[in-house]
């Protein structure tokens, strides 16, 4: 029987698991809550127990697996298989996860950070069409991403693919990183709302978005895009600004890496076609001519499963 992969998507609230074929078909999927108590010291034992429990359940054993791959928050040392600084997991000290999980399951283990792993997932089974040249940009609470070139993730000195911290507006909005005008401050879910509040202040016309903001209602990035789709004038202005910055950043990304696809994912990308078409407009304005025709923008296709697919694909190195 063909050997399988295990993918793990470790997040601050849940840990998702999948058993996949080596060609990337999900055959089993389950999840457990992330227990971040006691400095996150239960997380790795919980992962090991959950895998061993499910293998027993499915009457499988370690010899039937190529390996385990995992995506995690924090800063990853790929060689050592350690993670540090994953604050939403309460991991403050270096976690020796590779050795522990290999010992606890008897299966080979590889790890990378969650944004990189999602990039691998979209490349393998999603919008990236299994191309060797894919950039993934994820627009969530923050903005992250991963850059794949020559078929491999770029890591640089450990922080390559910090797409959210491409500077798109010198002296722009203050970012959590301490900089001003990072892409994340304009195109994350919170960035979209920030732009909405800013533009609302000086907006005088008729707008449902303006009314909601003036009434102190809580609005989300989704609300802004939904109103823009209904031609709310202020919401359209906000969307234009968001897409300007994202298109500008994608053009600069493409001048450097010229990927076949730039895949846009994360919560904000659920806005769909309105986002994509306006980002493309700005991309075309700023991109170098040969890059404009050879790099294509696409919406992500895997949603929350990108991490699971990508994590599993990490284990293909053990094949």
Query: CA-to-CA distance for 257 and 263, rounded, in angstroms?
Result: 14
Task: List Cα–Cα distances, 217 to 62, 98, 137, 199, 220, in angstroms.
Answer: 53, 46, 29, 16, 10
Work out the number of other CB atoms within 10 angstroms of the CB of residue 26: 16
Site residue total, a copy of itself (CB under 8 A): 43
Residues ≥6 apart with Cβ < 8 Å to 256: none
From 190-198, 234-242, 280-288, 311-319, give the range in contact with a copy of itself by CB under 8 A: 280-288
Judged by DSSP in three states, 161 sits in coil
**Which residues between 40 and 99 bind a copy of itself (CB under 8 A)?**
75
Q: Based on CB atoms, which residue is closest to a copy of itself, 159 or 174?
A: 159
> From the CB of 94, what's the least distance to a copy of itself, in Å?
16
Q: Does 147 bind a copy of itself (CB under 8 A)?
A: yes
From 2-10, 150-158, 187-195, 197-205, give the range in contact with a copy of itself by CB under 8 A: 150-158
Query: CA-to-CA distance for 134 and 111, rounded, in angstroms?
Result: 20
> From the CB of 49, what's the least distance to a copy of itself, in Å?
34
Q: Does 159 bind a copy of itself (CB under 8 A)?
A: yes
State the DSSP H helix or E strand holding residue 10, giving kind and residue range, or none if neither: strand 4-10
Q: Per-residue contact track with a copy of itself, 173 to 212, x per CB under 8 A?
A: ----xxx--x------------------------------
- Please choose, from the candidates 264, 273, 290, 311, the residue with its C-alpha nearest in 3D space to the C-alpha of residue 128: 264
Contact 114, 71 (CB under 8 A): yes
Q: Does 243 bind a copy of itself (CB under 8 A)?
A: no
Q: Does 129 bind a copy of itself (CB under 8 A)?
A: no
Q: Based on CB atoms, which residue is closest to a copy of itself, 49 or 78?
A: 78
Q: Based on CB atoms, which residue is closest to a copy of itself, 260 or 301?
A: 260
Q: Does 150 bind a copy of itself (CB under 8 A)?
A: yes
Work out the number of other CB atoms within 10 angstroms of the CB of residue 25: 11
Bridge-based pairing state of the strands 134-139 and 261-265:
parallel
Q: Which residues bind a copy of itself (CB under 8 A)?
A: 75, 133, 147, 149-150, 152, 154-163, 165-167, 170, 177-179, 182, 248, 251-260, 286-291, 294-295
């Amino acid at each position: 029987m063909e050997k399988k992969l295990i993918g793990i998507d470790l997040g601050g609230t849940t840990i998702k698991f999948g058993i996949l074929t080596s060609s990337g078909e999900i055959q089993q999927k389950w999840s457990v809550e992330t227990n971040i108590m006691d400095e996150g010291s239960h997380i790795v034992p919980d992962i090991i127990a959950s895998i061993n429990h499910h293998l027993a359940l499915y009457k499988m054993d370690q010899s039937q697996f190529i390996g385990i791959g995992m995506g995690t928050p924090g800063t990853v040392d790929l060689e050592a298989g350690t993670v540090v600084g994953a604050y939403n997991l309460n991991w403050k000290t270096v976690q020796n996860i590779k050795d522990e999980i290999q010992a606890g399951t008897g299966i080979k283990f590889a790890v990378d950070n969650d944004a990189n792993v999602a990039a691998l997932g979209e490349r393998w089974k999603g919008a990236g069409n299994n191309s060797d040249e894919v950039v993934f940009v994820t627009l969530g609470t923050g903005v992250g991403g991963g850059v794949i070139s020559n078929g491999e993730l770029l890591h640089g000195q450990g922080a390559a693919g910090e797409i959210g911290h491409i500077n798109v507006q010198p002296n722009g909005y203050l970012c959590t990183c301490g900089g001003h005008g990072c892409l994340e401050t304009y195109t994350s879910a919170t960035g979209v709302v920030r732009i909405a509040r800013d533009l609302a202040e000086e907006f005088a016309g008729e707008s449902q978005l303006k009314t909601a903001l003036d009434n102190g209602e809580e609005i989300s990035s989704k609300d802004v895009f939904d109103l823009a789709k209904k031609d709310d004038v202020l919401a359209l202005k906000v969307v234009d600004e968001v897409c300007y910055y994202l298109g500008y950043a994608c053009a600069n990304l493409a001048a450097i890496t010229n990927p076949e696809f730039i895949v846009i994912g994360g919560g904000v990308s659920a806005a769909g076609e309105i986002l994509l078409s306006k980002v493309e407009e700005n991309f075309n304005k700023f991109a170098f001519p040969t890059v404009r025709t050879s790099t294509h923008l696409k919406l992500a296709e895997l949603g929350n499963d990108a991490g699971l697919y990508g994590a599993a694909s990490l284990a293909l190195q053990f094949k």
